[in-house]
C-alpha cells in the first residue's frame, strides 16, 4: 500500500545529506578564513541591493491589503484601532520573513543555480579544480555570506515598509484615529518580534543559498539540465521555507512569547 514511500524518502534523505555536507564544507572554509572579499561584496550588491525593489513592493502592498482586510472585519466589532498591532505583529512574525524568502528564492536562488549550473555543464568548475581552486571557496562561500548578511536586512525593510503602508492606508484612507493606531503598534510590538523576523530571515537565507548552490553543482545534461535545476531550486526553496517556517514559529513562540 505504501510501496511508493521509499521512492520519496530516499531522495529526500539523500538531498538533506548533500545539503548538510555542503553547509559543513562552507562553514569550514569560512572558519579557515578562505573568504574572497571582492566576490563577497559583489554578491552582496546582487543579493541585497538588487532585491530591494521587489522586496519593498511586496512588503508595501502586503501591509496595505492586510490593513484593508483587517479593517473591514474589525469595523463591525468597533475594534478599528486594533488593526495596527495585528498587521505589525503579522508582518514581523510571519508575513515579512516568509514573503521575503519566497521573493528572494525566485529572484536570487534561480540566478545562483543558473550561473553555477552553467559553469558545471560547460566544465568551468573542472577548470577551477585543475587550477587548484576549491569550487566551494570560490562559488559557495561568497554567496552564503552575502545571503546571510542580506536576508535579515531585506526582511526588516519588507516589514518596515509594510507597517508604513499599513499606517498610511489605515489613517489616511480608512480614517482610523492616527494617534491610537500608532500608540497601539508601539504598545504591542516588542523587541522579541523583531528578533523573530531577523532569525527567520537568516534561516531562510541559509536554506535558499545552500539549495541553490547544491542544485547548480549537481546540474548536468547541458542547457536542459540547467533549466531543470533552476526550476527545482525555486520549488524546493519555496517548500523548504514554508515547512521550516512552521517549525520556527513553534520554537520561537516558546522562546519569544507574544507580548514579551
Provide the pLDDT confidence category of residue 237 given band limits of 50, 70 and 90.
Answer: very high
pLDDT at 204 over 90: yes
Phi, psi of 96 (to 5 degrees): -60, -55
Task: List b or e across 86-102, with b for residues whose CB sees 16 or more CB atoms inside 10 angstroms.
Answer: bbbbbbbbbbbbbbbbb
The structural domain count of the chain equals 1
Question: Model confidence at 251, in pLDDT bands (50, 70, 90)?
Answer: very high
Per the domain annotation, does 20 fall within a domain?
Answer: no
Contact status, residue 113 vs residue 215, Cβ threshold 8 Å = yes
95 vs 45: CA distance, rounded Å = 24
Distance, CA of 108 to chain centre: 10
Q: Is residue 50 part of a domain?
A: yes
pLDDT at 9: 67
Judge whether 189 lies within some domain: yes
Classify residue 27: in a domain, yes or no. Answer: no
DSSP state of 78: T
CB-based contact 147:47 (threshold 8 Å): yes
Flag whether the pTM goes above 0.85: yes
Looking at the domain assignment, is residue 25 inside a domain? Answer: no
Confidence of residue 254 (pLDDT cuts 50, 70, 90): confident
Cell of 111: 540566478
Q: How far apart are CA 139 and CA 40, in angstroms?
A: 10
pLDDT at 5 over 70: no
The answer to whether position 217 is within a domain reads: yes
Q: Cα–Cα distance between 173 and 150 in angstroms, integer?
A: 33
Q: Decide if pLDDT at 114 tops 70.
A: yes
Above 90 in pLDDT, residue 77? no
pLDDT computed for residue 13 by the predictor: 72
Taking only the tens place, the pLDDT of each residue in 160-196 is: 999 999 999 998 998 888 888 888 888 888 888 899 9
Question: Quick check: 4 pLDDT over 70?
Answer: no
pLDDT score recorded for residue 209: 94
Show Cβ contacts of residue 81 under 8 Å, excluding neighbours closer than 6 positions: 176, 177, 180, 181, 184
Domain that includes residue 102, residue range: 35-255
Q: Is residue 7 part of a domain?
A: no
Share of the chain above pLDDT 90, in %: 53
Dihedral (C-alpha) 212, 101, 203, 200: value to the nearest 10 degrees? 180
Residue 139 lies in a domain: yes
Amino acid at each position: 500500500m505504501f510501496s511508493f514511500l521509499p521512492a520519496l524518502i530516499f531522495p529526500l534523505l539523500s538531498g538533506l545529506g548533500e545539503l548538510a555536507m555542503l553547509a559543513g564544507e562552507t562553514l569550514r572554509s569560512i572558519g579557515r578564513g578562505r573568504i574572497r572579499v571582492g566576490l563577497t561584496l559583489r554578491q552582496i550588491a546582487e543579493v541585497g541591493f538588487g532585491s530591494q525593489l521587489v522586496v519593498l513592493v511586496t512588503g508595501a502592498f502586503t501591509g496595505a491589503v492586510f490593513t484593508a482586510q483587517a479593517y473591514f472585519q474589525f469595523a463591525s466589532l468597533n475594534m478599528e484601532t486594533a488593526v495596527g498591532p495585528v498587521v505589525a505583529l503579522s508582518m514581523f512574525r510571519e508575513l515579512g520573513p516568509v514573503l521575503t524568502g519566497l521573493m528572494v528564492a525566485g529572484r536570487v536562488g534561480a540566478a545562483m543555480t543558473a550561473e553555477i549550473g552553467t559553469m558545471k555543464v560547460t566544465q568551468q568548475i573542472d577548470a577551477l579544480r585543475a587550477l587548484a581552486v576549491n569550487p566551494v571557496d570560490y562559488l559557495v562561500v561568497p554567496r552564503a555570506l552575502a545571503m546571510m548578511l542580506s536576508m535579515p536586512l531585506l526582511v526588516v525593510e519588507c516589514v518596515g515598509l509594510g507597517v508604513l503602508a499599513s499606517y498610511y492606508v489605515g489613517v489616511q484612507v480608512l480614517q482610523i484615529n492616527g494617534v491610537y493606531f500608532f500608540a497601539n503598534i508601539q504598545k504591542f510590538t516588542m523587541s522579541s518580534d523583531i528578533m523573530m523576523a531577523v532569525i527567520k530571515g537568516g534561516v531562510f537565507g541559509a536554506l535558499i543559498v545552500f539549495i541553490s548552490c547544491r542544485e547548480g553543482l549537481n546540474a548536468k545534461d547541458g542547457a536542459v539540465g540547467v533549466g531543470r535545476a533552476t526550476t527545482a531550486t525555486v520549488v524546493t526553496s519555496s517548500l523548504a521555507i514554508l515547512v521550516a517556517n512552521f517549525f520556527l514559529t513553534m520554537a520561537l513562540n516558546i522562546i519569544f512569547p507574544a507580548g514579551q
